[in-house]
Amino acid sequence: MHLEPIVSFAILLAVILIVPLCFERIKLPGLLGLLLAGVALGPNGLQILQSDSDTMSLLSDIGLIYLLFVCGLEIDLDQFQATKYRSAGYGFLTFIVPLITGTVVGRVFGFDWNASVLIGSLFASHTLLAYPIISRLGVVNNEAIVVTIGATIFTDVGSLLVLAICIGINKGDFNAFELIRLLLSLLIYSTVILFGFAAVGKEFFRRSGNDEGNQFLFVLLAVFVAALGAEVIGVEKIVGAFLAGLAVNSVMGDSPIKEKILFVGSVLFIPIFFVDLGLLIDVPAFIKSISSIWLTLTIVLGLIGSKFLAALFAKLAYRYSWREAITMWSLSMPQVAATLAATFVGYRAGMLTEDVLNSVIVLMLVTATLGPLITARAASGLVSEAGSGLLTDWNTGSSPDSSADPDAKTAQALTLVVPIYNPQTERNLIEMATLLAQHQSGRVVPLAVVIAHGHMDTLELASFLVQSQSLLDKATEVCQEFGLAANPLLRIDDDVAQGISYASREQQASLVIMGWSKTTGFRARLFGNIIDRVLWASHCPVAVTRLLDSPRNIKRILVPLGNPTQRMIQVMNFAAILAEANQAEVTLLHISDRRISPAQMDAFKSQMELFASQCAVRNNPTIQIIAADDVATAIVTEAQKADLVVMRSARRRVNVNELSISDLTTQVITRLHCSVVMLGEPQHRPRPILRRNPQATTSTNTGQV
């Protein structure tokens, strides 16, 4: 059936919107739904969509490039740096053992050497599907897990390079000279992409400032230029896309642009690639390949066994426990993104048969299910090693950054910048600032930002200036009401977020206190809102508040805590200082996984007690640990007893493999019926703030937000 391109595109959008939601409701992966939708709409089903149509060919190619680009973009380079030598060692083991195993499997089933090595490269990579599980269990900082995460960069790069060489050999006459030429071309090309693109990207981002639209277009251009460059030197474009992801990764960090790029790919292009993969599945051939189960069974068992053998070697070499080895094995088992992409390329090049394609799809389903299940059981008995280094800092009452920042050792005047716009929320914001400022002997800077116009003498600008001055006058009155002098600031700027960031830096702000923006729809997620951009650009922490009552009426504060990290200490100290200023009670709440043993729970409670003893509050907070499957629901239930919930504002993370967007903070705050403060840190290390005022209290503990 021949359809107009616009009709095909509309059908694809409907499938992407509806099918994953339906499958997730019945506890099945959304990816499986997209594959089955492709089968149902393809040549062996309703014959509505064709894989070789211009529309599908273009969109699927974009999705394939985007998928590998995201793989490179999501590799955590900081974690890799922390254990780079052991990560390199385990990366080599979990690459070479499966590569050899897959090559043997290919030879046993009659494939030539080139195709067999390509099958081996499919075994070599892995996808960290179970990362949310280990994050939930609080063991992300265990060395074995950090090593496994860092090894991803070696397995993905290695498997893609092998794919590039195999495809190059398959294209025609290939001798030793051609092999050397290809390797040299790859070396030069990789250097240009990784270092050249990174340098150009940093310069472009520096010059473009806050222009997210141009930054977004620059990143997309870099991806597709890298993909085209790969084809010029004779390798597959997905190699260039992956390398571009690594290069751009170092430029963007965790900026809002990264979130937008992941968002666009995960909701549009990558799902289309999986639908197209389903169009390629020949149902009769698939059933036949399953009935002749030996190839499928050998591929599945070969992959699982080789990954286990690599984890066993790592256990012996690095003296890990059996539980750590099993966790490493289960984390490196799932084969989704890079494996499917490489299989797709090999199949289109004629190197892999339909039986191999079908077997790899079965492999994906088996490992994507089995890996996370084993991880959940094995990792529940691990102990995170993050606490040991942090406890020293807690015990001494100092910041781990104090040695690097001389100013951290001396108390500084607290400066609170409060952007005001909404008259209905202005008073509560200023009251919150006066509470903190009085406790810390600081000052409050009410800030009003007026958008600049082409002509500075326009009546519209004059009207906005009058309104803003009125807000500043009211803020000054509130400060005087509580015996505190205000330093109001009126600023004209091209952009509100930019004006807030610049003004807070000029005033040497210790903390920015903002009201809640209700812009949370599609436009905000794609282009960002003021809060997102202030969080990204600010040099100091930002407290985003939704205050339903006067802050001076807050008597019960709930602080949901995850892992005991320095960032969570900052959140706790913010709540502790607010509680002391307001004579309020603080409850530390941790929601643990039901699979955690009683011994682990007791150990974690001891860490929490030590944490509480070092925070900046006289009365020790209450510690509450609850075992629950639904973290958000448990927090909302406990929050019914509180006047204020203080949380860390974590950025949304796009999980491309599951095609869903998950943000615990967003899930919680949309269901709370009390006041909320979300504390967001700047992108680099903040200077210590909100220190105890020695004149206000005799305690010697110090804290920072």
Kindly report, residue by residue over 360-375, the tens digit of the pLDDT. 888 887 887 788 788 8
DSSP state letters, 652-677: PEEETTTTEEE-HHHHHHTT--SEEE
> 399 and 342 in one domain?
no
Residue 575 has a pLDDT of: 84
Asked if the structure places residue 398 within a domain, the reply is yes
> 339 and 236 in one domain?
yes
Which residue has tokens 């040549």?
43
Residue 337: name the closest of 286, 252, 262 by CA. Answer: 262
> 588 and 458 in one domain?
no
Spatial distance between the Cα atoms of 385 and 398, rounded to a whole number of angstroms: 20
Q: What is the CATH number of the domain that holds 461?
A: 3.40.50.620
Residue 292 has a pLDDT of: 64
Phi, psi of 585 (to 5 degrees): -95, 140
Spatial distance between the Cα atoms of 494 and 533, rounded to a whole number of angstroms: 14
Banded model confidence at residue 274, pLDDT cuts 50, 70, 90:
confident
- Give me the chain's average pLDDT, please: 77
**Considering the chain, what percentage of its residues have pLDDT values greater than 70?**
77
**Considering the chain, what percentage of its residues have pLDDT values greater than 90?**
7
Instruction: List 588's β-bridge partners, or say none.
Output: 559, 623
Residue 147 has a pLDDT of: 85
Spatial distance between the Cα atoms of 311 and 505, rounded to a whole number of angstroms: 49
Banded model confidence at residue 172, pLDDT cuts 50, 70, 90:
low
The better pLDDT of the pair 210, 406 is held by 210
Residue 658 has a pLDDT of: 43
Spatial distance between the Cα atoms of 75 and 246, rounded to a whole number of angstroms: 8
User: Three-state SS across 449-491?
Assistant: EEECCCCCCCHHHHHHHHHHHHHHHHHHHHHHHCCCCECCEEE
> 243 and 213 in one domain?
yes
CA–chain centroid gap for 437, Å, is 34
Asked if the structure places residue 234 within a domain, the reply is yes
Residue 245: name the closest of 148, 171, 157, 346 by CA. Answer: 157
Of 12, 31, 49, which residue sits at a domain end?
49
Asked if the structure places residue 170 within a domain, the reply is yes
Asked if the structure places residue 524 within a domain, the reply is no
Asked if the structure places residue 640 within a domain, the reply is yes
- Using alpha carbons, list the distances in angstroms from residue 195 to 34, 151, 205, 244: 37, 21, 15, 10
> 93 and 28 in one domain?
no
Q: Tell me the residue type at 309.
A: L
> 422 and 369 in one domain?
no
> 66 and 39 in one domain?
no
Provide CB contacts within 8 A for 675, sequence distance 6+. 545, 546, 547, 548, 549, 551, 554, 643, 644, 645
Length of the chain equals: 705
Phi, psi of 463 (to 5 degrees): -65, -45
Residue 307 has a pLDDT of: 92
The better pLDDT of the pair 255, 318 is held by 318
The better pLDDT of the pair 314, 152 is held by 314
Banded model confidence at residue 313, pLDDT cuts 50, 70, 90:
very high
Residue 254 has a pLDDT of: 64
> 686 and 639 in one domain?
yes
Q: Tell me the residue type at 678.
A: M
Residue 135 predicted with pLDDT over 90: no
pLDDT tens for 648-704 read 775 444 444 443 334 566 677 778 888 988 888 765 444 444 443 433 333 323 222
User: Across residues 578-583, what is the average pLDDT?
Assistant: 82
Asked if the structure places residue 629 within a domain, the reply is yes
- Output the CA torsion 47→51→53→55 (10° steps): 110
Range from 123-137, 519-533, 599-613, 617-631 carrying the lowest mean pLDDT: 519-533
Residue 446 has a pLDDT of: 93
User: Across residues 326-348, what is the average pLDDT?
Assistant: 82
| Structural domain harbouring 6 | 1-49
Residue 388 predicted with pLDDT over 60: no
> 242 and 356 in one domain?
yes
Contact 165, 99 (CB under 8 A): no
Q: Tell me the residue type at 652.
A: R
Range from 256-260, 272-276, 641-645, 647-651 carrying the lowest mean pLDDT: 647-651
Asked if the structure places residue 472 within a domain, the reply is yes
User: Across residues 219-228, what is the average pLDDT?
Assistant: 89
> 143 and 8 in one domain?
no
Banded model confidence at residue 630, pLDDT cuts 50, 70, 90:
confident
> 394 and 470 in one domain?
no
For the chain, the domain total comes to: 4
> 45 and 71 in one domain?
no
Provide CB contacts within 8 A for 680, sequence distance 6+. 535, 541, 542, 543, 544, 648, 649
Q: What is the CATH number of the domain that holds 217?
A: 1.20.1530.20
Residue 614 has a pLDDT of: 59
Asked if the structure places residue 317 within a domain, the reply is yes
Residue 557: name the closest of 655, 438, 676 by CA. Answer: 676
Contact 263, 656 (CB under 8 A): no
